[in-house]
Amino acid sequence: MASWTRRAALAMGGMLMAGEALAEDAFGFRLEAIEGGPLDLGQWRGRPMLVVNTASFCGFTPQYAGLQKLYETYRPRGLVVLGVPSQDFNQESADNATVKAFCDATYQVEFPMTGLMHVRGPETHPFFRFLSDRGGGPPRWNFHKYLVARDGRTVHGFRSQVGPDTPALVQAIETALAAAAS
């Protein structure tokens, strides 16, 4: 009887987790913008999106400069770069305003950013659960990247060590931009 109860509880938990996401693709999520208020990813439906979990006090933090350059270079062709600050690795400020001020002052970040979010562990946001399920697993560290294709369902993950100017990432972005919109 105990094993049936445990299985039922696990199944219920799985349904709740699946029910949280309910989005059929990455563009079906609504997040909080770093400035406050809603950030509807549906506004970028049909555009490739590079989602990066970020942190202000990490050895990879200088990647902000490369992400901004990618955004400036490929935005006219449709690429969206989305920064997602997270304190999951204990290297981020405690509030959105401080994160935004740092990004603005230090790296002149113009690409959209979400509010602080859990990207791994038991409190993982459903958006990051969606990305990790389709893009090779959860982030192991800050500046993990997920390239979401135009269809919003195809996701390719890139580890933190893959910088914004790494040929493999640039080629994947070029390929995603060249793909026909569905």
- Give the pLDDT confidence score for residue 5 in this predicted structure: 36
- Which entry of 21, 33, 58, 65 is annotated as an active-site residue? 58
Q: Residues 121, 55, 87, 78: is their CA dihedral positive or negative?
A: negative
pTM above 0.85, yes or no: yes
Identify the CATH class of 2-178.
Answer: alpha beta
- Give the pLDDT confidence score for residue 181 in this predicted structure: 72
Give the contacts of 109 (CB within 8 A, at least 6 positions apart).
64, 67, 68, 83, 103
Write out residues in the chain with pLDDT < 50, as ranges.
1-21
Q: Where are the domains of the chain?
A: 2-178
- Give the pLDDT confidence score for residue 154 in this predicted structure: 96
pLDDT, tens digit (0-9, with 9 covering 90-100), for 106-151: 999 999 999 999 999 999 999 999 999 999 999 999 999 999 999 9
**Catalytic-residue membership of 103:** no
